[in-house]
Amino acid sequence: MHLNKEDLLSLEQYSIERDAFRQRVMAHKKNRRLPIGEHLSLYFEDKLTMQYQIQEVLRAEKVFEADGIQEELDAYNPLIPDGSNWKVTLMVEYKDPAERAKALTQLIGIERMTWLQIEGFDKIYAIANEDLERETDAKTSAVHFLRYEVSDEMIAAAKQGAAINAGVEHENYSFEQRPMAENIRASLSSDFS
């Protein structure tokens, strides 16, 4: 499930294929973004989204040496689901910077209050920010990295078409998305193939 150097294009080849690859990834991502209310979105990561992220970092930083490429692989591979979980980037999204700054002081712990639920099973709460701490006593971050562990029974139900629900139960931000759209449900279920 992880990426290695052979999965990546050289900087030269990526520059040739970038536009077409980017269009493919953007179309793919439409089935992997789940808004939860007005100011929170879950971006479900997978091998393709991480390949794109790595290619863009390598391009922007003009990294072509093996050690630098491996460093990026090591940084992004943990964000690829391994067949028994979903890996998600949670984004707190406010257009106005002042409004966002205020909200981040009121949403401490939101990443731990975000859940997914496969129909017929209990809610699954995220294991958050395993890479580093992203909140203080005064505020939280606008970006969190989440992992949702899914049982074999839940996986079987999702593959058979069970609805998937999502929500947040934070005292200052509560919202449920029941059920998520079929295009997103199908895309997330494919993570278990």
Domain ranges of the chain: 1-30+47-80, 34-45+81-193
C-alpha distances out from residue 174 to 56, 62, 163, 168, Å: 34, 42, 20, 5
Confidence check: pLDDT of 1 > 80: no
What mean pLDDT is predicted for residues 91-111?
A: 97
Flag the least confident range among 79-88, 107-116, 124-133: 124-133
What percent of the chain is modeled with pLDDT above 90? Answer: 94
Angle between helices 47-61 and 66-76 (to 10 degrees): 140
pLDDT digits (tens, 9 = 90+) for 119-176: 999 999 999 988 777 888 899 999 999 999 999 999 999 999 999 999 999 999 999 9
b/e code 151-183 from CB counts within 10 Å (16+ = b): eeebbebbeeebebbbbbebeebebebebbeee
pLDDT at 171: 97
* Mean pLDDT, the chain, integer: 95
pLDDT at 25: 98
C-beta separation of 73 from 126 below 8 A = no
C-alpha distances out from residue 112 to 85, 135, 145, Å: 16, 12, 11
Assigned token pair, 6: 């052979």
Beta-strand ranges (E) seen in 49-190 are 85-92, 114-118, 124-125, 127-128, 143-149, 164-170, 173-177
pLDDT digits (tens, 9 = 90+) for 10-24: 999 999 999 999 999
On whether the 34-45+81-193 domain is CATH 2.60.40, my answer is yes
C-beta separation of 146 from 111 below 8 A = yes
Closest by Cα among 54, 43, 156, 126 to 89: 43
Closest by Cα among 122, 121, 126 to 170: 126
Assigned token pair, 82: 């391994």
Q: Residue 189: pLDDT band by 50, 70, 90 thresholds?
A: very high
